Amino acid sequence: AQSVSQHNHHVILSEAASLELGCNYSYGGTVNLFWYVQYPGQHLQLLLKYFSGDPLVKGIKGFEAEFIKSKFSFNLRKPSVQWSDTAEYFCAVKGSGNTGKLIFGQGTTLQVKP
Amino acid sequence: DAGVIQSPRHEVTEMGQEVTLRCKPISGHDYLFWYRQTMMRGLELLIYFNNNVPIDDSGMPEDRFSAKMPNASFSTLKIQPSEPRDSAVYFCASSLVVGQRNTEAFFGQGTRLTVV
Per-residue pLDDT tens over the stretch A14-42: 999 999 999 999 887 888 899 999 998 88
Cβ of residue B105 closer than 8 Å to a chain A Cβ: yes
Give the model's pLDDT for residue A54: 94
Facing A102 at nearest CB: one of B99, B105, B109: B105
Mean of pLDDT values over B79-108: 89
d(CA B70, CA B42): 28
Cβ of residue B7 closer than 8 Å to a chain A Cβ: no
**Residue B97 confidence (pLDDT) above 90:** no
Of the given ranges (A28-37, A72-81, B70-79), which has the lowest mean pLDDT? A28-37
d(CA A101, CA A96): 9
d(CA A11, CA B72): 40
- Per-residue pLDDT band for A102 (boundaries 50, 70, 90) equals confident
Scored b (16 or more CB within 10 A) or e, B106-116 reads bbbbbbbbebe
Question: Cα dist. A96→A57, A89, B29, B96, B97 in Å?
Answer: 17, 22, 16, 11, 9
Interface of B with A in 34-93 (CB under 8 A): 35, 42-43, 45, 48, 50, 55-56, 91, 93
Mean pLDDT of chain A: 92
Contact B43 A107 (CB under 8 A): yes
Mean pLDDT of chain B: 93
CA-closest candidate to residue B23, choices B44, B2, B38:
B2
**Residue B104 confidence (pLDDT) above 90:** no
Give the model's pLDDT for residue A31: 86
Radius of gyration of chain B (CA): 14
CA A89 to chain B, closest CA, distance in angstroms equals 11
Beta-sheet strands, E only, within A1-114: 3-6, 10-14, 19-21, 23-26, 31-38, 45-50, 56-58, 64-68, 73-78, 87-95, 103-104, 108-113
Contact B97 A49 (CB under 8 A): no
CA A100 to chain B, closest CA, distance in angstroms equals 10
Give the model's pLDDT for residue B103: 77
Give the model's pLDDT for residue A41: 86
